[in-house]
Each structure stands twice: as C-alpha cells, then as structure tokens.
Amino acid sequence: MRRNSKFLVISRHDYRSKRKASIHFIARELAKHGTTRFFSSAFSLLSRLTQDQRLPLWSRANRVEHLDGVDAYLWRTLAHPCKAPKFIHGAMDRFFRSYVEHAPAVLRAWIAESDMVLLESGGPEMFFDLVRRCNPTCRIGYIASDSLETIGSAHYVREVFQRVAPWFDAVYLPSELLAPVFPPACKLYFVPHGVDAGMLQASGASPYKGGVNLVSVGNMLFDPEFFEAAAPAFPDINFHVIGGGKGARKLAAPNITVYPEIAFKDTLPFLKHADAGIAPYMGNKVPAYLKHTSMKLMQYGHLGLLAICPAMMVGECKGRFGYLPGNPTSIAEAVRGALSAGRLDRLDFLSWAEVTQRIVAPEDFPDTNLN
C-alpha cells in the first residue's frame, strides 16, 4: 500500500466515543499513513432502548467531524436492523437489505475514493456488496475483533459473513483461536492487539484515598456476581468498577465504588496505582480466544499489574490468578493470591503502530500468515 493512501473504516463503534476499542487505535495510526475516514452504523431511536454507548453523540450524528486526523461520521436513522426472533428473520433480512441500499451519500463517496476499506466484525459485514459495487478495485480487509456468535450478531449478518468471507483480501485475527470460524478459502493473518505504550506510561496522581484498591474497567460480559462475592469477603479492600454498564448499577456494598464510563486516558491513573486489576468476565459466556484478545488484561500486564480473572482466561499468560465464576471460595483465593504476589514484570506487546503496519501490508510480515 503506497503512502498517502485513502482508508475507510466501517464499524459499530464511533471514533469519538470515550470508550476505546482496538479499532480506534488502528484508525488513529492509519491517519499517519494517509486520509482516513471512520463510518459508524446501526444507530437510531432503537439505540436509546439499548443504552448504546454512542448516545452522547446523538446531536452530532449525520455530519462529518474531524478528530486526530480522522474524519468521523455517525449514521443515525429512525430505526436500524438488528437481531430478531427466528419467526421474523425473513422480514428483518429484507430490512437489512433496504438499510444498506439507503446508505448515505457520504459513505458511497468515501467508498469510491478509498484504496482500502476495513470492515469490523459485528454488523459492517452487510456493507460488503455495497463496497464492491461502489469500488470494484479497492482492497477489503476484515477486522475480526470478535466471533459473531460471541457477540450475538443478527441472522442476516451471519449469513452475509459466510457468503463473503472468502472474498476478503485479508482477514485479520487477534487470536489464532478464531481461525476455525472462517471458511478454508479465507486469507487469514494473525495480527494481535497492541498497547498504547505512551499513554500507559503517562503520569497521573493516584485517585485513591489509601488502603488496598482493586480496579475493573469496561462492561464486556460484565459479571456483577464477582463483586457480590468478593466485597463482603474483603471488607477492608476497596473495589473500583469503571464503566461496568447496567450490570454494575445494582452493586451497593460500602466498599464498592461504581463510576460511569470515562475517557480512556482518565482511567490510566486508576490502573497505574491499583494493587491488582479485575477482569470479571461472565464465566459461562467467555470464548477461549478472549484470553488473547482482552485489552484490559493486556493493559494490566503491560503496567505490571496482576490480574484476577476467570480460570479459563489464564492459559499460558503470566500474572493472572484464576477463579471459578459463581464460586465465592475460588474468588477469594484468587484475590488473596494476586495481592500476595506483589507486582509483575512488565509484559511487552506490539505497539498500535506495529499492528497497523501489519494490517496495511501483511505480506511484509511472513510470521502473520496463517494459510
């Protein structure tokens, strides 16, 4: 891919959201390689019912905004297609097709101008045919952030994925454990998530008022039962839950502090000054690949922070103390184990710049090829 190329990212995230996923960091780095646009879809009045994390951007939808070298556009409609009961799959599939056919002019123009279009898993698969019609020669890459089964994608999205997967120019997997969900003809590349080393090493005063502090960030597969078991077992430990979503709202123990979603950079002091990190994933829903792709666990490790997580998330990874979800005794043992172990030697990962280089030109990195 030549310098000054034009890139388009299509995602269910919005580039301006406070919560940062891997696709945000990739887009920021793409902007250093050339013109970068970020299109966010599946946002409507229905999003109010689901408490979509993009709701603070409601009034800024349907117009282009420029941030950090990236042009961002959030497409807001009256309604958007979504997962539906099996008995109305036919009607919802027709809605999906109509939704794509009514894509805004800005998306069609961005596609036509792009050298490379990146579709992120979880809905943007539905735009594959539109991309090919608007720009038959551009490269189309697929960022497989999660399996469609794990995130509960709609029937139509899964069907489109099965049909178009072999036609992606490249499929980027953050864990080799995701490979079996792809048809054999797919061009698979192993590109792990990265860490933002600069931000993680940024200074910041401790937000804690003393004592022992354990912190959890994010709401993916959030399991409140961990805290319902751990808080009473350790009344002298302070538990901090940041951005836990609706699953955290009912947590009311005196030693639990629940925070709303805050900007990524503002969570860093909480991580740097904690005694250990918690990844309270819901045990019966955790996919095996998440032990490699969990950004919170990677961030904990990069900071030298020991992690408390479900036992299946430990694997070969250093510095993790596993527990059996729903088992108070096991949870208590994991907490005690992490607190008695001190600090972890900092774990190194790829930078987001290195990750993005592998996405732009995977053929330059022979160790990424999984075929």
Catalytic residue positions, numbered: 146
- CA distance linking residue 202 with residue 153, whole number of Å: 37
- Concatenated DSSP letters of 128-148: HHHHHHH-TTSEEEEE-SS-T
Instruction: Return the closest-CA partner of residue 256 out of 281, 231, 292, 286.
Output: 231
Question: Which residues are registered as beta bridge partners of 38?
Answer: 9, 72
Q: Do the bridges between strand 5-11 and strand 34-44 make them parallel or antiparallel, or are there none, so unpaired?
A: parallel
Helix, strand and coil content of the chain, in percent to the nearest 5, comes to: 40, 20, 40
158: Cβ contacts below 8 Å, ≥ 6 apart = 148
The sign of the dihedral angle between the CA atoms of 99, 102, 103, 108 is: positive
DSSP 8-state symbol, 175: S
Q: How many CB atoms lie within 10 A of CB 142?
A: 27
> Which residues are registered as beta bridge partners of 43?
76
Angle at which helix 224-233 crosses helix 328-340, to 10 degrees, equals 70
Give the whole-angstrom CA distance, residue 133 versus residue 147.
Answer: 26
